[in-house]
Amino acid sequence: MDNLKTYIEENKERFLDELFELIRIPSISSKPEHKDDMYRCAELWKKMLIDGGADKAVVMETEGNPVVFGEKILDPSLPTVLVYAHYDVQPAEPLELWTTPPFEPEIRDGKIFARGADDDKGQGFMHTKAFEYLVKTNQLECNVKFLIEGEEEVGSPSLPKFCEDNKEMLKSDVILVSDTGMIAPDVPTITTGLRGLCYWEVEVTGPNRDLHSGLFGGAVANPINVLAKMITQMVDENGHITVPGFYDDVIEVSDEERALMAKAPYSEEEYKKALDVEELAGEKGFSTNERTGIRPSFDVCGIWGGYQGDGAKTVLPSKAYAKISSRLVPDQNHEKIAELFCKHFESIAPKSVKVKVEHLHGGQAYGCPIDLTAYKAAEKALETVYGKRPVPVRSGGSIPIISDFEKILGVKSVLMGFGLESNAIHSPNENYPLEQFFNGINSIPYFYKNYAEMMKK
């Protein structure tokens, strides 16, 4: 690409200033008090798309947070790439663990520290700058559309309907997404799989009120004890999930593909060291990458009940709660799994308690074949920038809307992400290395160039 490196070099301060403006808006989708911030953030995205060279950009209402749509149509006969990203972020708590405030971006040790620095403001923003470069230097050879949503972190509840209602507007040949990761800074990676998920909240009720744990303890079931026991029954000693029928639709990956997966660079020692754990745990017979990439998992995300204040209070609580999630793989159906779990969880409850299970949200897993034209365009783009062939990786994370895009719009997504495991997304001190940010901006233009060429043939 003509003078791409120079363009980035000459504009890098401005790029960072603009990204920081985006990061400073606390667009936390799970908190209703941030509704205004969602609109402010959407408006800023719209402005950035226009400034970057889009013919049009609009903020559109949905049943939830607004969506930003923008486009530049060069010629309807050219291939069209739809860029998807999300402007919403996860809550920043626990705040006291941040070195600098989460919505005041700061560069330290060559990394941008802030909530959203990687997920997905930093990564999404790279696309506006790659686009700007292509437009300003007259090198764009594809039509480009942008779809930036504000509810990814809460399961994209409004986007499927928005897609149904706007199929023509969203028409494209491929969807390009930077919201995933790389194995290491020097190991270019393309994500070929995302896990699906199911999320529930359970409530276990024992006696009709909190009781004195001396007067009643030992005679009345304690809902926290019961809940803890029920949870431990969900996974057996081999790391198998015990819900009947849970594995029925899991596609077993061939030995050939497993052998290929085992070739991806991975050090168990470094992995353990980075997490400060002595030993890993998971399903027997599978490696770490297999456990997150091709096998389902079951986790309690939060658990509470009883006395949480300072000091001691002798109480036998009336209620116990947990938030529980399960990551799914092809071809598990998230609605079917949601049902199976509800039934099973209720069935193992002792008569001494009442159990309520609420299904909060879910989504399907996704797979991208490596012979897809757009995959090859991404592969070649990363090879140009990194000097080596990218590794295809099935990620353990989820972006539920990606499989909906396929179902509703009939379009495949290519997941060309630049995050690192050490970026601490969703955690305190989320960060995004400048190297990843600028390599991303440097790689994306080649994707368009390769894709346009490959689609001509």
The count of residues interacting with ligand BES (CB under 6 A) is 15
Q: How far is the CB of 456 from ligand BES (least distance, A)?
A: 32
Which residue in the shown chain puts its C-beta closest to ligand BES?
397
**Any contact of residue 400 with ligand BES (CB under 6 A)?**
yes
Rounded least distance, CB 217 to Mn ion, Å: 42
- Nearer to Mn ion by Cβ, of 325 and 450: the residue is 325
Dist CA 183 CA 174 (whole Å):
24
CB of residue 179 to ligand BES, shortest distance in Å: 4
Shortest Å, Cβ 86 to Mn ion: 6
Q: Figure out which of the listed residues 189, 395, 403, 450 binds ligand BES, where binding follows CB under 6 A.
A: 395
Q: Does 430 bind ligand BES (CB under 6 A)?
A: no
11 vs 427, beta carbon nearer ligand BES: 427
**Interface stretch with ligand BES, choices 46-54, 124-132, 237-245, 396-404 (CB under 6 A):** 396-404
Shortest Cβ 182–ligand BES spacing (Å): 10
Closest approach, Cβ 180 to Mn ion, in A, equals: 8
Q: Smaller CB distance to ligand BES: residue 143 or 403?
A: 403
Read off the tokens for 288.
């770490």
Q: Taking the complex as a whole, how short is the minimal distance between the CB of residue 417 and ligand BES, in angstroms?
A: 6
List binders of ligand BES among 150-209 (CB under 6 A): 152-153, 155, 179-181, 197
Q: Does 332 bind ligand BES (CB under 6 A)?
A: no
> Residue 73's Cα: distance from chain center in Å?
29
Find which of Mn ion, ligand BES, none residue 395 binds, CB within 5 to 8 Å per kind.
ligand BES
Q: Which residue has the tokens 């919201």?
A: 179
Nearer to ligand BES, 229 or 407 (CB): 407
Instruction: Give the footprint of ligand BES on residues 82-141 (CB under 6 A).
Output: 119-120
Residue from the set 26, 223, 296, 419 that interacts with ligand BES by CB under 6 A: 419
Nearer of residues 287 and 429 to Mn ion, judged by Cβ: 429
Closest distance to ligand BES from the beta carbon of 132 (Å): 23
Between residues 82 and 355, which has the closer beta carbon with respect to ligand BES? 82
CB of 292 to ligand BES, least distance (A): 10
Q: Which does 180 bind (CB under 5 to 8 A by kind): Mn ion, ligand BES, none?
A: ligand BES
What x/- string results for residues 352 through 391 when contact with ligand BES is judged by CB under 6 A?
----------------------------------------
Write the binding mask 289 to 328 for ligand BES: x where contact by CB under 6 A, - elsewhere: ----------------------------------------
For residue 78, give both structure tokens.
């050219």
Pick between residue 79 and residue 105 the one whose CB is nearest to Mn ion: 105
In SS3 terms, the chain reads as: CCCHHHHHHHHHHHHHHHHHHHHCCCCECCCHHHHHHHHHHHHHHHHHHHHHCCCEEEEECCCCCCEEEEEECCCCCCCEEEEEEECCECCCCCHHHCCCCCCCCEEECCEEECCCCCCCHHHHHHHHHHHHHHHHCCCCCCEEEEEEECCHHHCCCCHHHHHHHCCCCCCCCEEEECCCECCECCECEEEEEECEEEEEEEEEECCCCCEECCCCECCECCHHHHHHHHHHCCECCCCCECCCCCCCCCCCCCHHHHHHHCCCCCCHHHHHHHHCCCCCCCCCCCCHHHHHHCCCEEEEEEEEECCCCCCCCCEECCEEEEEEEEEECCCCCHHHHHHHHHHHHHHCCCCCCEEEEEEEEEECCEECCCCCHHHHHHHHHHHHHHCCCCEEEECCCCCCHHHHHHHHHCCCEEECCCECHHHCCCCCCCEEEHHHHHHHHHHHHHHHHHHHHHHHC
- The answer to whether residue 71 forms part of the interface with ligand BES (CB under 6 A) is no
Separation between Cα atoms, residue 63 and residue 54, nearest integer Å: 25
Give the span between the Cα atoms of 242 and 357, in whole angstroms: 17
398 binds ligand BES (CB under 6 A): yes
Residues in contact with 235: Cβ distance below 8 Å, sequence separation at least 6, in sequence order: 241, 242, 298
Token pair recorded at residue 11? 């504009």
Nearest to 177 by CA among 241, 85, 269, 251: 85
Q: Using CB distances below 5 to 8 A depending on partner kind, what does residue 18 bind out of Mn ion, ligand BES, none?
A: none
Which residues bind to Mn ion, rule: CB under 5 A?
A: 119-120, 179
Q: What does the binding site for ligand BES look like in residue numbers (CB under 6 A)?
A: 119-120, 152-153, 155, 179-181, 197, 395, 397-400, 419
